[in-house]
Chain A
């Protein structure tokens, strides 16, 4: 039987070329390579006006007055204008959580630098900034809470005056620590990570307009989770969700920065609804750096107990996270710190454990979960500690880990905090990494002096990345967003194409390609004929969106499930057209095949839509369209993991660190598109290197952020990021469709720990140990000088 005449596209090449596991170039590339992507700032609407915000220059102050020049009174809006708008509330159900209300425009007080105080509207951004400059803020400075550790001291200023202290939430997780206390090895350290700015190349952006015909607000916004933004907007504006449409077009990088309901979004929607403006606001880099340094600031007081042979007896930790001034919607102010307690032990076995956490309110911008969320800090703290244990025990760091890692025959494994590790062989990954980085040769090299006077060190770290965790995990947090079944719609078009609609958002992850690969895997349809539609609440099923490395597992599963339904129905129709028993046909290479004949899906689609008279009488009336929900068999999450190993050379005089070699042995389950997985790891690594060596938003004692240009806030460039050597293990997840696991964040988790361990390995002969990221040249030189000073015999 011939292909349908209408299908002019070339026959797809069946099998590995396009399905799961295909290293397929991306469908979305071409528009970006020609400068024809469409980001929020590229949207042009009739009458579009620009918004600039008046933002607080102070971290903490009482607002005495906002003076707006009379001639701008119609173009400037302050909190009193928005009195009917409800504040943003992101409440956690965890006991003891204190609620913060974030007014969309500051009311009464400003609580961080960059907080919105007034909205200015003008035909261009430049003019809007002119107006903003003319607005006078009369602020009475209050003492700023800038240090999360001092924030808990008695007598400290209060960020929220109706609270008794500055703690959003304190948690304690304990499995009787007492038996560990007499361990022969006890190492204690104070470890911390700097506050960072996620810094996607594109900042946030918002365009809002009101469509009177549809009685609908349309909000174009760079949102990783458009449906969640709609939930929040509806709450704040007090309007029904059907009157809101969120469109999230191309996004220039998310990483968590765009997983939030923004006060700016609420403000622009209010302007569109109440003032009939069509408006846009585009976050500029200064706004981004000065008002959105929103992640990674952790502090650990941590003690590890171990046997002489390096086996862990227990961990005792007090962790503090600087949550900033408000609780962000939907992730809340406490997710990160509370998560520390549950993820700290990771894939290691230990009999005793105690972790107390504090989510502390300060006069900084509210935190958001950045790629890796708490895991980057946790990995940094724990893996540095394991190296300290190794030094104490006189063992190779890898050996200490091998003695404590979960063994493959223990899988699935519930660790001490009841994290359910689905699969994997962690020791094997460790062995491969040690072999690849060749620790033995580094040790030999360390015995000799380097010709250039540099010091060589090697370090490694292990992490696991819980991904696509669902209802059972998030219901426990009790935050405004709990993921349930992920849905996808799949619909064949009359010419044999396939449209897939998903509520997750692809902003670099390549889902327009990988979800097409999933469809291909099930239906055999040429991926060139598959369109993935996302980023529009009017066109896609509800979803909590893209975060937590969940999209491939969840949306992939949903697409797979929806396509399976279509496959069944297509087979039924195909069998009738082939005059065969439906039980005797199968779907192969995009064709319904009987023993001797076959028919192309496009012909079946043509029949369903345009020649229904040829359909069997018992045809499923749902047709070639299906919306299906999906959840893995267990929703406790997939666990990808990796071992990162790095060799560094340090110039102790300049404090510079060169990454000589970098190895990643990674197990991300079944890889849908290995090229894209590699890209995620490479990109994550670059961000991890940023955390390790470059990125830091310092604050002064007044809560002023001090690195507010990219000349001060250093992002790694091409010369700072080496090409790592990758080795993939592919242990399928037992719980997910195709055995896939989430891998989006992992690359960013391990590098700070591995690099810190390598630096400390190199500097150990000098008696130097660095425990704070980023490991800047100045920190290295200061530590080296201090160590030399300490060694100098008293004169």
Chain B
């Protein structure tokens, strides 16, 4: 818990809050100021908009702890506000509300526009309200109401206030808290245990991959030799970025963990895979499934390889096909393109590692011992190199 002091609707409030409590929940649950509504809790709908240090801000993605010392005004604090009073009467006259749920946030944003806009230009008003969704009114009454209040005030000679009068720099609400003297506030969360996934011995189902990436690498060793290397699952696993084994593998079965990171998002998929190999076609398949308990997401993936002799059988072209499907929250939330970008990068890295490791192995079987490869560091070197090469190529044209 963190102690904060906030001025809410001109009243000083001191409270202990959990750091994770956002400002809207704090106002609603601690102060019973329920006029601030939650519509999405990810900053899009605008229902939770209120004034922080006199400027509109989203209270659902602003943590209460970050507002120490700030001045917060909610809809309840605007009863006697001159602009809000004019807006309320215009909203009623123009039928600018139906269910009323978006109304408090809408009024806060509207008030900001009335304060700042030079003239009652409809386009500017609509753009200015674009961050406040209303599902009932079609915005007609809202735009009319805001326009009428701006027109009326400008007619009365009330000038717009540039920047709504703000001079301070930085995020609204920040920098008001006691600095230096009470510099550090901290709290430790209640321990939430990371649950172990109950290991299941179920058959790993077949699946059709949503996304498939193809890569190929060349190894300077005959196919039979490379095929034997693919039989060493530990070696293959070591090439898979973020992968680690959690139990001793058998030739048919492997259990492990794959940790993936997409920006600030990280997931650890724990699971198992079955291994199939066919020496007659020099091909194989590893099909696995894993779960990330924390994000309640699961993935299925397969690595198919097919070895093709090249250079009269002295070397091998490894044709890789890597497919995956993702289910659960990560599939539902992460924008598909971002995941695809990540997966293609990981695939490229896997191929690269494979090439290095297997080449190394092929070589070492003749000359020297294998050395571990740091997968993570490789990734961006590969990528950057590729992009630069493309750009250079084009620029030379």
User: Measuring CB to CB, which residues of chain A are less than 8 angstroms from any residue of chain B?
Assistant: 25-26, 28-39, 41-42, 44, 57-59, 64-65, 67, 69, 113, 124, 126, 130, 133-134, 136-138, 140-141, 199-202, 250-255, 282, 284-286, 290, 507-510, 675-676, 678-679, 681-687, 700-702, 704-706, 708-712, 715, 717-719, 721, 723-724, 747
**Residue pair B99, A202 in contact (C-beta under 8 Å):** yes
Stretch of B122-130, B214-222, B227-235, B350-358 that contacts chain A: B122-130
**Residue pair B139, A718 in contact (C-beta under 8 Å):** yes
Closest chain-A Cβ to B98's Cβ sits at a distance in Å of 3
**Residue pair A57, B138 in contact (C-beta under 8 Å):** no
Docked CA distance A354–B333 (Å): 42
**Residue pair B100, A32 in contact (C-beta under 8 Å):** yes
**Residue pair B138, A721 in contact (C-beta under 8 Å):** yes
Docked CA distance A124–B25 (Å): 10
Docked CA distance A133–B294 (Å): 7
Q: List 26 A-B contacts (CB under 8 A).
A: A25-B95, A28-B100, A29-B97, A30-B88, A33-B92, A34-B88, A35-B75, A35-B76, A37-B100, A38-B34, A44-B32, A57-B297, A200-B99, A201-B45, A201-B136, A252-B102, A253-B101, A284-B38, A683-B137, A685-B138, A701-B208, A701-B210, A704-B327, A708-B332, A711-B42, A721-B140
Within 8 Å CB of B325, what residues of A?
A: 700, 702
Within 8 Å CB of A26, what residues of B?
A: 92, 95
B41 located at the interface, meaning its Cβ lies under 8 Å from any Cβ of chain A in the complex: yes
B79 located at the interface, meaning its Cβ lies under 8 Å from any Cβ of chain A in the complex: yes
Closest chain-A Cβ to B144's Cβ sits at a distance in Å of 8
Minimum-distance CB pairs A-B, first 7: A35-B35, A32-B100, A252-B101, A682-B138, A35-B75, A508-B98, A57-B328
Partner of A201, one of B41, B95, B102, B141: B102
Partner of A706, one of B95, B198, B331: B331
Within 8 Å CB of B139, what residues of A?
A: 682, 686, 717-718, 721
**Residue pair A706, B332 in contact (C-beta under 8 Å):** yes
Stretch of B150-158, B189-197, B238-246 that contacts chain A: B189-197
**Residue pair A686, B138 in contact (C-beta under 8 Å):** yes
Within 8 Å CB of B91, what residues of A?
A: 29, 33
CB closest residue in chain A, given B75 = A35
Docked CA distance A32–B102 (Å): 9
User: Told that A138-B198, A252-B102, A718-B126 touch, could you supply 14 new A-B pairs with CB distance under 8 A?
Assistant: A25-B93, A29-B88, A33-B92, A37-B101, A134-B195, A136-B293, A141-B205, A285-B39, A286-B41, A678-B95, A683-B135, A687-B135, A715-B135, A717-B131
B178 located at the interface, meaning its Cβ lies under 8 Å from any Cβ of chain A in the complex: no
**Residue pair A719, B193 in contact (C-beta under 8 Å):** no
Docked CA distance A251–B137 (Å): 15
Within 8 Å CB of A681, what residues of B?
A: 138
**Residue pair B92, A718 in contact (C-beta under 8 Å):** no
Closest chain-A Cβ to B259's Cβ sits at a distance in Å of 18
Q: A57-B298, A136-B293 are in contact. Are A201 and B133 (CB under 8 A)?
A: yes
Within 8 Å CB of B39, what residues of A?
A: 201-202, 285
Docked CA distance A402–B28 (Å): 56
Within 8 Å CB of A202, what residues of B?
A: 37, 39, 99, 101
**Residue pair B76, A34 in contact (C-beta under 8 Å):** yes
Interface range, B side: 35 or more
Within 8 Å CB of B34, what residues of A?
A: 35, 38-39, 41-42
Docked CA distance A683–B140 (Å): 9
Closest chain-A Cβ to B286's Cβ sits at a distance in Å of 18
Q: A34-B79, A708-B332 are in contact. Are A201 and B140 (CB under 8 A)?
A: no
B20 located at the interface, meaning its Cβ lies under 8 Å from any Cβ of chain A in the complex: yes
Closest chain-B Cβ to A314's Cβ sits at a distance in Å of 37
**Residue pair A252, B298 in contact (C-beta under 8 Å):** no
Docked CA distance A390–B52 (Å): 57
B394 located at the interface, meaning its Cβ lies under 8 Å from any Cβ of chain A in the complex: no
**Residue pair B100, A250 in contact (C-beta under 8 Å):** yes
Within 8 Å CB of A711, what residues of B?
A: 42, 44
Partner of B101, one of A65, A200, A715: A200
Within 8 Å CB of A25, what residues of B?
A: 92-93, 95
Q: A126-B18, A706-B331 are in contact. Are A252 and B200 (CB under 8 A)?
A: no
Docked CA distance A42–B76 (Å): 14
Docked CA distance A37–B75 (Å): 12
Docked CA distance A679–B92 (Å): 12
CB closest residue in chain A, given B60 = A285
B40 located at the interface, meaning its Cβ lies under 8 Å from any Cβ of chain A in the complex: yes
**Residue pair B333, A708 in contact (C-beta under 8 Å):** yes
CB closest residue in chain B, given A113 = B332
Partner of B37, one of A39, A124, A723: A39
Docked CA distance A58–B41 (Å): 23
Within 8 Å CB of B18, what residues of A?
A: 126
Docked CA distance A679–B99 (Å): 11
**Residue pair A140, B138 in contact (C-beta under 8 Å):** no
CB closest residue in chain A, given B203 = A140
**Residue pair A253, B99 in contact (C-beta under 8 Å):** yes
**Residue pair B332, A34 in contact (C-beta under 8 Å):** no
Within 8 Å CB of A136, what residues of B?
A: 195, 197-198, 293
**Residue pair B99, A284 in contact (C-beta under 8 Å):** no
**Residue pair B331, A67 in contact (C-beta under 8 Å):** no
Contact with A along B137-174 (1 / 0, CB 8 A): 11111110000000000000000000000000000000
Q: A69-B195, A719-B127 are in contact. Are A710 and B101 (CB under 8 A)?
A: no
B74 located at the interface, meaning its Cβ lies under 8 Å from any Cβ of chain A in the complex: yes
**Residue pair A64, B200 in contact (C-beta under 8 Å):** yes
Docked CA distance A706–B337 (Å): 12
Closest chain-A Cβ to B384's Cβ sits at a distance in Å of 29
**Residue pair A675, B140 in contact (C-beta under 8 Å):** no
With most chain A CB atoms within 10 A of its CB, the pick from B36, B95, B136 is B136
Docked CA distance A35–B47 (Å): 11
